[in-house]
């Protein structure tokens, strides 16, 4: 009988190669499935022996007894579906117990975003520092705000990703899908200055680095998401903003919100954000409701009719 570790390894390799999953997604699958395996072990149950009722019991445990959030339960169900579908396709099991699992309904939370003035305060707080790291964080804040990059995309940008002549950044996003995002001249000028004068402070004198935002300490060789997140929280306090309101993803939301408020079309925003479905982008339209009502009241022909 093939061990769980071998089955899990084969499954994760398939998710990378065939489905193009990012390492973050692969690691999430790994964690969720290893926790399920521990649950099975506690009951002396082999993975290939799992039945529909066993899955129902497991989900009942994490959802009702351990009070996991609906979003977490939905993610676990997704991992189980994919894993058992893989086992069935590989003929490791004769029946797929996860085939009819249903995910709990999850209401989509409205995205949080910062105003243009708040973004300015955040960047100014970074640039007020004289040390190279905070200066670099200021540039990254502005780059994220004008491009809508995911934080994982931002920190892992290669040096060659920026095309200064065409004024775009080339990004490899989720599922290894590539896209290009236009960047303002102001931010590009700041990046050029950083590359020329400051970037060397983050590279060992006897080494080279392919990363736009290299790091002397991280294993990956580039600034980590966690380090950027912590610096943002610190800067939020300095800027007089609530740290709970500021995160890398909020900067991404702020980019989309700002574009839509300045009349960008939804399809263009979808492409720049790298959303596969426009339905994902449509959540940002909530910020237009008040603006839209005012425009209708001011401009609709019926408003000009007198009673």
43 is catalytic: no
What token pair was written down for 174? 């989720």
Please, what's the b/e burial string for 71-81 (b: 16 or more CB within 10 A of its CB; e: otherwise)? eebbbbbbbbb
Cα 222 to Cα 226: distance, rounded to the nearest angstrom: 12
Contact (Cβ atoms closer than 8 angstroms) between residue 78 and residue 112: no
What are residue 214's DSSP bridge partners? 222
Exactly one of 112, 179, 233, 275 is catalytic; which is it? 275
Tell me if residue 252 is catalytic.
yes
Give kind and range of the element (H or E) at residue 172.
strand 168-172
Catalytic residue among 29, 58, 145, 284: 284
Catalytic member of 174, 179, 233, 271: 174
292, 298, 304, 307: CA torsion to nearest 10: 80
Query: Is 145 an active-site residue?
Result: no
Given the residues 75, 76, 136, 150, select the one marked as catalytic: 150
DSSP notation for 116-130:
HHHHHHHHHHHHT--
How far apart, in whole angstroms, are the C-alpha atoms of residue 259 and residue 170?
Answer: 19
Which one of the listed residues 85, 249, 261, 271 is annotated catalytic? 249
Q: Tell me how far the alpha carbon of residue 35 is from its chain's centroid.
A: 23
The sign of the torsion formed by the CA atoms of 223, 134, 141, 228 equals positive
Active site annotation includes 225: no
What 8-state DSSP symbol labels residue 48? Answer: G
Whether 143 contacts 187, CB under 8 Å: yes
* DSSP H or E stretch at residue 170: strand 168-172
In the residue annotation, 174 being an active-site residue is answered as yes
Give the rounded distance of the alpha carbon of 38 from its chain centre: 28
* Partners of residue 18 on adjacent β-strands: none
Which candidate in 76, 199, 252, 253 is catalytic?
A: 252
The catalytic residue positions are 150, 174, 249, 252, 275, 284
């Amino acid at each position: 009988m093939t061990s769980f570790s071998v089955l899990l390894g084969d499954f994760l390799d398939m998710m990378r190669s065939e489905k193009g999953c990012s390492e973050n997604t692969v690691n999430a699958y790994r964690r969720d499935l290893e926790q399920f395996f521990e649950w099975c072990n506690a009951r002396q149950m082999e993975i290939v022996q799992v039945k529909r009722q066993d899955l129902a019991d497991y989900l009942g445990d994490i959802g009702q007894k351990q009070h996991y959030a609906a979003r977490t339960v939905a993610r676990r169900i997704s991992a189980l579906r994919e894993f058992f579908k893989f086992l069935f396709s590989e003929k490791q099991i004769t029946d797929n117990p996860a085939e009819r699992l249903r995910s709990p309904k999850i209401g989509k939370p409205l995205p949080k975003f910062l105003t243009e003035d708040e973004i300015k305060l955040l960047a100014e707080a970074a640039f007020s520092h004289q040390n190279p790291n905070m200066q670099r964080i200021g540039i990254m804040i502005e780059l994220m705000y004008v491009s809508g990059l995911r934080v994982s995309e931002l920190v892992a940008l290669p040096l060659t990703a920026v095309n200064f002549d065409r004024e775009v950044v080339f990004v490899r996003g989720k599922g290894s899908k590539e896209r290009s995002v236009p960047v303002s001249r102001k931010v590009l000028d700041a990046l050029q200055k950083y590359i020329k004068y400051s970037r060397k402070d983050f590279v060992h004198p006897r080494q080279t680095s392919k990363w736009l935002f290299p790091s002397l300490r991280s294993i990956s060789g580039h600034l980590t998401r966690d380090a950027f997140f912590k610096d943002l929280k610190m800067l939020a306090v300095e800027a007089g903003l609530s740290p709970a309101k500021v995160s890398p993803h909020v900067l991404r939301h702020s980019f989309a919100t700002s574009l839509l408020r300045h009349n960008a079309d939804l399809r263009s925003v979808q492409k720049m954000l790298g959303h596969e479905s426009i339905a994902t982008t449509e959540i940002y339209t909530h910020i237009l409701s008040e603006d839209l009502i005012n425009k209708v009241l001011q401009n609709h022909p019926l408003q000009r009719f007198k009673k």
